[in-house]
Amino acid sequence: MKDARAPWLRPVVALIISAFFLVPLYMILVNVFKQGEEITQSPSSLPVPPTLANITGLLSRTDNLFWASLVNSIVVTTLSIILLTVLSAMLGHYLARSRSRWARVAMLLLLAGLMIPPQVILMPVTQVLRAFGLMTTLQGLVLFNVGYYIPFGVFVFTGFLRGIPIELEEAAAIDGASRTRIFWRVVFPLLRPATASVLIFLGVWIWNDFIDPLVILGPSQGTTITTGIYRSIGQYQADFGTVFALMFLATLPVLIFYLFLQKQFVKGLTGGATKG
Cβ nearer to another protein, comparing 52 with 114: 114
Member of 113, 177, 186, 190 binding another protein (CB under 8 A): 113
- 52 contacts another protein (rule: CB under 8 A): no
- Which of the residues 118 through 137 are near another protein (CB under 8 A)? 118-121, 123-128, 130, 132, 135-137
Output the smallest distance, CB 245 to another protein, in A. Answer: 11
Report the alpha-carbon distance of residue 52 to residue 32 in Å, rounded: 8
Output the smallest distance, CB 19 to another protein, in A. Answer: 10
Output the smallest distance, CB 158 to another protein, in A. Answer: 5
Listed in sequence order, the residues at least 6 apart from 135 whose beta carbon sits closer than 8 Å to its beta carbon are 126, 129, 216, 218
- 194 contacts another protein (rule: CB under 8 A): no
Q: Which residues of 101-129 are buried (b: 16+ CB within 10 A; e: fewer)?
A: eeeeebbeebeeeeeeebeeebeebbeeb
- 159 contacts another protein (rule: CB under 8 A): yes
Listed in sequence order, the residues at least 6 apart from 265 whose beta carbon sits closer than 8 Å to its beta carbon are 193, 196, 197, 200, 258
Member of 53, 59, 75, 186 binding another protein (CB under 8 A): 75
Binding mask 76-105 for another protein (x = CB under 8 A): ---x--xx--xxx-xx-xxxxxxx---xx-
- Which of the residues 244 through 263 are near another protein (CB under 8 A)? 244, 247, 250-251, 254-255, 258-259, 262
Report the alpha-carbon distance of residue 70 to residue 65 in Å, rounded: 8
Q: Which amino acid is at 32?
A: V
Member of 55, 58, 81, 150 binding another protein (CB under 8 A): 150
Q: Which residues of 156-172 are buried (b: 16+ CB within 10 A; e: fewer)?
A: bbbbbbeebeeeebeeb
- 72 contacts another protein (rule: CB under 8 A): yes
Output the smallest distance, CB 220 to another protein, in A. Answer: 6
Count of residues in contact with another protein, rule CB under 8 A: 151
